[in-house]
């Protein structure tokens, strides 16, 4: 029995090591590693179980899982924050701003089909957070002469932002209390997927902000149907699982290409950058690794607790981020469990040089 459990432990370790490799290999080259990377939170839990099992049994095999857990410490801290208390280093005589990133899914509360009720509740939440810069995704409002009036009527707090940018053709927007000097869009594949950026003048310092939503997996509807099904092992369920995996693979390849294009644009920025948005990929992924290289992950540096940002039926997904240039200093970062969308908002206080 011990021999069988030890072999099983070694297989789990092998897949965990493959998950550690996944962020460094593009899905265009080896797509199966994407799926191993997504399984990392569960592999971590299994490794902890094996560690406790061997330790309580007083068998030396405990070090197998102990070593593999330590090797992946940076991945662990990207999904579970271990910081307690705000960072105040260097805060004296420096400007502080609050940044909020939120995939608002049209601002429709899942508890009601009344859009106006959902958007008014969203407006009240935004007022409570009082962010200086607000980056939103899936800002679904109809284009036309009346769209700006509709925006202010449905979400009144947005009236407090004198500067904003939402370019026609996508559902990404940036609202600011500070002047926007320049703005643009890229990777505009669909209305909901792409990137809008704005150069914002914060007193004497210009910062480039990105509001990003990369290619959606489009599997949440299938996952919801599977959760509702009583018989999850019938042929239809297996077919649905196959569809989910196929969609995830295709979307992952698109995200890999788009993340490389976006990173090139980020590297060419003449200003420090803040990247906000829905990457539709977890930290143990090629997309995240490309975009986060050389940047500070505000949650990883100052967050605490589980970093889950997806509020749907697929558990343990951190797919929404605030990343920024190391010239800027994160004071805090929190994921707020708000019911206005299928994503949770991410808010961060930042020091500007």
**Sequence spans of domains, the chain:** 2-71, 95-352
Question: What CATH number does domain 95-352 carry, 3.40.50.720, 3.60.10.10, 3.60.20.10, 2.60.120.590?
Answer: 3.60.10.10
Average pLDDT rounded to a whole number, residues 290-306? 94
Contacting residues for 86 by C-beta, under 8 A, at least 6 apart: 302, 331, 332, 349
For residues 115 and 154, give the distance between their C-alpha atoms in angstroms, rounded to a whole number.
9
What three-state secondary structure class fits 75? helix
Q: Say yes or no to pLDDT of 216 above 70.
A: yes
The pLDDT-based confidence of 59 (bands split at 50, 70, 90) is: confident
> What pTM, to 2 d.p., does this model score?
0.87
Q: Which of 295, 256, 290 is nearest to 275 (CA)?
A: 295
pLDDT for 188: 67
**Which H/E stretch holds residue 177?**
none
Average pLDDT rounded to a whole number, residues 340-349? 91
Average pLDDT rounded to a whole number, residues 2-19? 89
pLDDT for 141: 62
Q: Say yes or no to pLDDT of 263 above 80.
A: yes
Mean pLDDT of the chain: 83
Q: Say yes or no to pLDDT of 349 above 70.
A: yes
Could you tell me the sign of the dihedral formed by the alpha carbons of 316, 322, 325, 328, in that order? negative
């Amino acid at each position: 029995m011990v021999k069988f459990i030890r072999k099983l432990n070694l297989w789990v370790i092998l897949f965990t090591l493959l998950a550690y490799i996944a962020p460094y290999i593009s899905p265009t080259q080896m797509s199966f590693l994407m799926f191993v990377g997504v399984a990392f939170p569960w592999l971590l839990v299994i490794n902890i179980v094996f560690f406790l099992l061997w330790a309580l049994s007083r068998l030396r095999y405990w070090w197998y899982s102990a070593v593999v857990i330590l090797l992946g410490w940076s991945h662990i801290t990207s999904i579970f924050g271990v910081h307690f208390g705000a960072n105040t280093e260097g805060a004296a005589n420096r400007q502080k701003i609050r940044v909020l990133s939120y995939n608002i899914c049209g601002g429709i509360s899942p508890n009601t089909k009344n859009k106006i009720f959902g958007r008014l509740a969203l407006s009240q939440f935004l007022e409570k957070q009082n962010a200086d810069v607000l980056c939103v995704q899936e800002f679904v409002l109809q284009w036309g002469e009346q769209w700006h009036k509709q925006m202010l009527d449905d979400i009144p707090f947005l009236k407090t932002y004198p500067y904003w940018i939402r370019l026609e053709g996508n559902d990404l927007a940036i609202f600011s209390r500070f002047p926007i000097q320049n703005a643009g869009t890229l990777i505009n594949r669909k209305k909901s997927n792409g990137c809008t950026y704005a150069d914002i003048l914060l007193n004497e310092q210009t910062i480039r902000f990105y509001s990003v939503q990369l290619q959606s997996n489009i599997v949440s509807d299938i996952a919801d149907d599977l959760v509702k099904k009583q018989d999850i092992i019938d042929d239809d369920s297996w077919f649905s699982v196959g569809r989910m995996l196929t969609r995830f693979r295709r979307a992952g390849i698109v995200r890999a290409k788009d993340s490389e294009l976006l990173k090139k644009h980020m590297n060419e920025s003449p200003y420090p950058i803040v990247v906000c948005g829905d990457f539709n990929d977890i930290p143990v992924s090629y997309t995240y690794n490309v975009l986060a290289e050389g940047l500070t992950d505000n949650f990883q540096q100052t967050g605490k607790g589980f970093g889950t940002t997806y509020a749907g039926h697929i558990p343990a997904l951190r797919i929404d981020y605030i990343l920024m240039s190391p010239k800027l200093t994160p004071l805090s970062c929190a994921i707020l469990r708000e019911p206005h969308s299928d994503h949770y908002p991410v808010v961060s206080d930042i020091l500007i040089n």
